[in-house]
Chains A and B, each alone.
Chain A
Amino acid sequence: MHPPAYQHLLLSTLIWLPIGTGVLILLLGEERARLGRWLALFGSLTTLALTVPLWYGFDRASAALQFRQTLPWIPRFHALYDLGVDGISLPLVVLTAFMTVPVVIAGWRVIRERAAQYFAAFLIMEGLMLGVFCAADALLFYFFWEAMLIPMFLIIGIWGGPRRVYATLKFFLYTFLGSVFMLVALIYMYVKGGSYAIAAMQALPLTLEEQRWIFVAFLLAFAVKVPMWPVHTWLPDAHVEAPTGGSVILAAIMLKMGGYGFLRFSLPVAPDASRELDALIIVLSLIAVVYIGFVALVQQDMKKLIAYSSIAHMGFVTLGAFVVYEIVRHTGTVQGAGMGMDGAMVQMISHGLISGALFLCVGVLYDRMHSRQIADYGGVINTMPAFAAFMVLFGLANTGLPGTSGFVGEFLVIIASFRASFWYALLAAVTLMLGAAYTLWLVKRVVFGPVTSPRVAALKDLDGREFLVLGALAAAVLLVGIWPAPLLKVLQPSIQHLVTQAIATKLGAP
Chain B
Amino acid sequence: MQPALLLAIPLLPLVAAILAGLGGRWLGRRGAHTVTILAVAASCGLSCLVLKAVYVDGAPPYNGTVYTWLHSDGMTMPVGFLIDRLSALMMVVVTFVSLCVHVYTIGYMHDDPGYTRFFAYISLFTFSMLMLVMANNFLQLFFGWEAVGVVSYLLIGFWYTRPTAIFASLKAFIVNRIGDFGFVLGIAAVAYFSHSVDYKDAFGLAARLAHDSIALGGGRSVNALTCICICLFIGAMGKSAQVPLHVWLPDSMEGPTPISALIHAATMVTAGIFMVARMSPLFEYSEPALSFVLIIGATTAFFMGMLGVVNNDIKRVIAYSTLSQLGYMTVALGVSAYGAAIFHLMTHAFFKALLFLAAGSVIIGMHHEQDMRRMGGLARYMPITAITCWIGALALIGTPFFSGFYSKDTIIEAAAASHRFGASYAYWCVLCGVFVTALYTFRMLFLTFHGPERFRSTRAAQEGNPDPGHETHHEPDAGHGAPADPHESPWVVTLPLIALAIPSVLIGALTVGQILFGDYFGRSLLVLPGHNPLARVAEEYPGALLMAVQGFASPTFLCAAAGVLTAWVCFLWRPALAARAAERLAPLRRLLVNKYYFDWFNEHVVAALTRGIGITLWKGGDQALIDGALVNGSALTVGWFGGLARRLQSGYLYSYAFWMVIGLAVLLGWFLAYA
Binding site for B on A (CB under 8 A): 26, 74, 76-77, 117, 143, 146-147, 150, 153-154, 157-158, 165, 168-170, 173, 183, 187, 191, 230, 233, 291, 294-299, 330, 335-339, 342-343, 379, 381-382, 392, 396, 399, 401-403, 407-408, 411-412, 414-415, 418-419, 421-423, 425-426, 429-430, 432-433, 436-437, 440-441, 444, 447-451, 483-485, 487-489, 492, 495-496
Interface string of B578-612 (1 = CB under 8 A from A): 00000000000000000000000000000000110
CB <8 Å contact, A418 and B191: yes
Whether B621 pairs with A158 at a CB distance below 8 angstroms is: no
**Do A298 and B614 have beta carbons less than 8 Å apart?**
yes
Contact status of A401 and B146, CB under 8 A, knowing A191-B674, A297-B611, A429-B184: yes
**Known contacts A425-B188, A433-B174, A444-B166; A449/B160 CB under 8 A:** yes
Interface size class of chain B, counting residues whose CB lies under 8 Å from the partner chain: 35 or more
Give the CA-CA distance A484 to B611 in the complex, in Å. 36
Q: How far is the CA of A414 from the CA of B188 in the complex (A)?
A: 7
Please judge, given known A-B contacts A415-B188, A433-B177, A436-B174, whether A485 and B645 are in contact too, CB under 8 Å: no
A343 to B173, CA, bound (A): 25
Distance between Cα atoms of A426 and B216 in the complex (Å) = 11
Known contacts A150-B656, A418-B191, A492-B72; can you find 10 more A-B pairs with CB under 8 A? A117-B653, A150-B663, A157-B648, A158-B651, A233-B631, A418-B188, A421-B215, A433-B174, A436-B177, A448-B160
Picked from A153, A412, A444, the residue with its CB within 8 Å of the CB of B170 is A444
Given the interface pairs A191-B674, A425-B188, A433-B178, the reply to whether A440 lies near B173 with Cβ below 8 Å is yes
User: Does any Cβ of A come within 8 Å of B73's Cβ?
Assistant: yes
The contact sample of 14 A-B pairs, CB cut-off 8 A, is: A143-B667, A230-B626, A233-B627, A295-B614, A295-B617, A298-B614, A335-B195, A379-B161, A412-B72, A418-B192, A450-B163, A492-B72, A495-B73, A496-B73
Q: B71 is contacted by which of A230, A296, A408, A489 (Cβ under 8 Å)?
A: A489
Across-interface contacts of B142 in A (CB, < 8 A): 402
B interface residues, Cβ below 8 angstroms from A: 67-75, 139, 142-143, 146-147, 150, 153-154, 157, 160-163, 166-167, 169-170, 173-174, 177-178, 180-181, 184-185, 187-189, 191-192, 195, 214-217, 610-611, 613-615, 617-618, 621-622, 626-627, 630-631, 638, 641-642, 644-646, 648-649, 651, 653, 656, 659-660, 663, 667, 670-671, 674-675
A153 to B644, CA, bound (A): 13
Which residue from chain B places its CB closest to the CB of A482 in the assembled complex? B69
Q: Given A403-B147, A441-B170, do A338 and B649 touch, yes or no (CB 8 Å)? A: no
A294 touches B161 (CB 8 A): no
Which residues on B sit within 8 Å (CB–CB) of A396? 150
B70/A448 in contact, CB under 8 A: no
Asked whether A423 and B216 contact (CB < 8 A) given A298-B618, A429-B184, A440-B174, the answer is yes
A165 contacts across to B, CB distance below 8 A: 642, 645-646, 649
In the bound complex, residues from chain A placing their C-beta under 8 Å from that of B72 are: 338-339, 342-343, 412, 488, 492
B674 CB to nearest chain A CB (Å): 5
- Given A169-B645, A294-B610, A422-B216, check contact A432 B618 (CB 8 Å): no
Interface centre among B70, B645, B667 (most CB of A within 10 A): B70
Residues of chain B within 8 A (CB-CB) of A415 are: 187-188, 191-192
Chain A to chain B: the 10 pairs with minimum beta-carbon distance, closest first: A338-B73, A298-B614, A418-B188, A402-B143, A294-B614, A448-B166, A339-B73, A297-B614, A436-B177, A295-B618
B184 near A437: Cβ-Cβ < 8 Å: no
Best-surrounded residue of A150, A291, A433 (most CB of chain B within 10 A): A433
Which residues of chain B come closer than 8 Å to A399, judged between CB atoms? 177
Q: Smallest distance from the beta carbon of A319 to chain B beta carbons, Å?
A: 13
Q: Which residues of A contact B217 (CB under 8 A)?
A: 421-423
Q: From the candidates B68, B189, B626, B627, name the one contacting A485 in the complex (CB within 8 A).
A: B68
* Closest Cβ–Cβ distance, residue B612 to chain A (whole Å): 9
Chain B residues with Cβ below 8 Å from A402 are 139, 142-143, 146-147
Query: B215, A422: Cβ atoms under 8 Å?
Result: yes
Roughly how many angstroms separate A298 CA and B170 CA in the complex, as a whole number? 16
Cα distance A343–B75 in the bound complex, in angstroms = 13
Contacting A449 at CB < 8 Å: which of B161, B626, B646?
B161
Cβ-defined contact, B649 with A418, below 8 A: no
| Chain B residues within 8 Å of A339, by CB | 72-73, 75
Closest to B674 in A: A187
- From A169, which residue of chain B is reached at the shortest CB distance? B641
Which residues of A sit under 8 angstroms from B188, Cβ to Cβ? Answer: 414-415, 418, 425, 429
Contact A381-B160, Cβ < 8 Å, known A165-B646, A422-B216:
yes
Residue from the list B70, B75, B644, B674 in contact with A408, Cβ < 8 A: B70
Q: Note all chain A residues with C-beta closer than 8 A to B622.
A: 233, 295
Known: A297-B614, A298-B618, A448-B160. A403 touches B143 (CB 8 A): yes
For A292, the closest partner residue in chain B by CB is B617
Q: How far is the CA of A419 from the CA of B667 in the complex (A)?
A: 44
Q: Are B195 and A336 in contact (CB under 8 A)?
A: yes
Across the interface, name the chain B residue whose C-beta is closest to A117: B653
| Smallest CB separation, B482 vs chain A (Å) | 28
A401 touching B150 by the CB < 8 A rule? yes
CA distance A436 to B161 in the complex (A): 21
Give every chain B residue within 8 A of A432 (Cβ-Cβ): 177, 180-181, 184
A77 adjacent to B671 (CB under 8 Å): yes
Taking CB atoms, residues of chain B closer than 8 Å to A169 are: 638, 641-642, 644-645
Are B670 and A150 in touch, CB under 8 angstroms?
no
Chain A residues with CB below 8 A from B618, complex form? 294-295, 298-299
CA distance in complex: A476, B72 (Å): 20
Residues of B within 8 A of A382 (CB): 161
CA distance A451 to B161 in the complex (A): 8
Q: How far is the CA of A411 from the CA of B621 in the complex (A)?
A: 29
Whether A437 contacts B195 by the Cβ 8 Å rule is no
Beta-carbon nearest neighbor of A180 in chain B: B670
Docked complex Cα distance between A437 and B216 (Å): 28
Contact of A437 among B146, B174, B626, B646 (CB under 8 A): B174
Q: Which residue of A lies closest to B153 (CB)?
A: A440
Q: Which residue of B lies closest to A293 (CB)?
A: B614
B181 engages A154 (CB within 8 Å): no
B185 and A426 form a contact (CB under 8 A): yes
A158 to B214, CA, bound (A): 55
A356 to B291 alpha-carbon distance, docked (Å): 47
Q: Give the chain A neighbours of B641 by CB distance below 8 A.
A: 169, 173
Which residues does chain B contribute within 8 Å of A449, judged by CB atoms? 160-161, 163, 166
Determine how close the nearest CB of chain B comes to the CB of A297; give it in whole angstroms.
4
Report the Cα distance A436→B184, complex, angstroms: 14
For B184, the chain A residues whose CB sits under 8 A away are: 411, 414, 429, 432
CB of B521, distance to nearest CB on chain A (Å): 28
A74, B671: Cα distance in complex, Å:
11
A143 to B660, CA, bound (A): 12
Please state if B610 and A437 are interface contacts (CB–CB under 8 Å). Answer: yes
CA distance A421 to B192 in the complex (A): 10
User: Is the CB–CB distance between A157 and B645 below 8 Å?
Assistant: yes
Pick from A117, A191, A230, A418 the residue with the most CB of B within 10 Å.
Answer: A418
A418 to B163, CA, bound (A): 40
In the assembled complex, how far is the CB of residue A145 from the closest CB belonging to chain B, in whole angstroms?
11
Cβ of A421: which chain B residues have Cβ within 8 Å of it?
215, 217
A1–B215 alpha-carbon span in the complex (Å): 48
Is A430 in contact with B181, judged by CB distance below 8 angstroms? yes
Q: Are A150 and B627 in contact (CB under 8 A)?
A: no
In the complex, which residues of chain B have a beta carbon less than 8 angstroms from the beta carbon of A484?
A: 69-70
Q: In the bound complex, what is the Cα–Cα distance between A367 and B147 (angstroms)?
A: 33
CB distance from A489 to the nearest CB of B (A): 7
Q: Which residues of B contact A330 (CB under 8 A)?
A: 215
In the complex, A444→B161 CA distance in Å? Answer: 11
**Residues in A neighbouring B627, C-beta threshold 8 A:** 233
Rounded to whole angstroms, the CA-CA distance of A158 and B615 in the bound complex is: 32
Q: Which residues of chain A are within 8 angstroms of B614 by Cβ–Cβ distance?
A: 294-298
> Given the complex, which residues of A lie within 8 Å of B187, measured CB to CB?
415
Query: B74 contacts which of A74, A335, A401 (Cβ < 8 Å)?
Result: A335
Is B192 a contact of A419 with CB atoms below 8 Å?
Answer: yes
